[in-house]
Structure 1
């Protein structure tokens, strides 16, 4: 693993009982790079994503983040890594309904122990970059699906993580909202120098990445890496 690589995987396998979901997957993610893993539903791409994020333990192989093997970390260390160094965006946002927009966006900072006023200020700055400044005091039930997904993006990036893992981040949106959210998401990630690993079934979404992998039947079949 060289100094430009933030995440590295080799010979990764994952099984659900007798079913092998991921077969000997290998990939690298460089600092600030956007990597897309595309494939049909059931191809294993989401399973691989959660192996890379340390959510699912691998059956074989190794995943390393900034030189450290995830398999050598205990549960507490993995939780801290996911909380402090990783960010997550899910298909449906997964906002907490009892919190305001700014409280949802500030959540990673609050969980890391930052004082409320400071966390809300930082969240407000990120929300402003995503055009959500006027929605800070609303609840998730009071905003649209596209706005909710922008809040989820703000939450994933507010603590300036090294890597954001995104599972079909625009899959629940219509094409116009999907394009806008993806544009803002990737622009902000690149501005911060945060790497993004996203899985998608949409070739148009994958085309926005610096590096593209295709997954089929658990096998990471091919890769296209843009020239540096």
Structure 2
């Protein structure tokens, strides 16, 4: 995997920024650096005026848990939990009472057309439905930023378009910023700003 070099990127409130590039270009590494998951050897990542590199592990964990959301290519839902419980997980981890967290989960699942499936487990629904739950989980706590790593990469074109539209419409309605990495130009075309990455080098693209 390519190391990230001299990358400079900014993300405004409610903006959607896409980073494109081939596998191994360094785009996922950059995403995880910006999310505070991977350390930055040189330079800084700032979130709401704070340098992530100056925060301790507990502070970083709190930001990732309460202010960030994450969507992965294969959803990464917990198989032993219902769709409703998976969705409510960020709220429960942040200390929200169970009844309140489940109520919020039901509301966002309803907005995504999944209300009737909330008691099912991930193995009992389709890939497109699982990825909608991943979207719900990422947005249920109304984070400041969602980091999405190939969020539609495991879906067929029809489901990919539907899930992406629902994800971005819901994020924009909440004024949640989105940073997504993708190799799909059609996905990147939905962003407000685009960058491309090759061999660890980030280049501004079409906006």
TM-score band, normalised by shorter chain: over 0.9
Gaps of 5+ in 1: 1-18
Q: Give the alignment partner of residue 68 of structure 2, picking from 86, 96, 111.
A: 86
Q: Equivalents in 2 of 1:125, 1:193: separation in Å?
A: 18
Q: Equivalents in 2 of 1:189, 1:20: separation in Å?
A: 30
Given the two structures, how large is their TM-score scaled by the length of structure 2? 0.99
Q: Which has the higher strand share?
A: 1
Q: Give the alignment partner of residue 120 of structure 2, picking from 138, 143, 163.
A: 138
Counterpart of 2:32? Answer: 50
Tell me the number of residue pairs that the alignment of Structure 1 and Structure 2 aligns: 207
Q: Equivalents in 2 of 1:62, 1:41: separation in Å?
A: 25
Secondary structure of residue in 1 paired with 2:74? coil
Counterpart of 2:96? Answer: 114
Gaps of 5+ in 2: none
**Runs of 4 or more off by more than 3 Å in structure 1?**
none
Q: Equivalents in 2 of 1:214, 1:20: separation in Å?
A: 14
Check the 8 A contact 2:2/2:26 in 1, yes or no.
no
Counterpart of 2:140? Answer: 158
Cα RMSD after superposing both structures: 0.8
1:68 aligns with 2:47: no
Counterpart of 2:110? Answer: 128
Given the two structures, how large is their TM-score scaled by the length of structure 1? 0.90
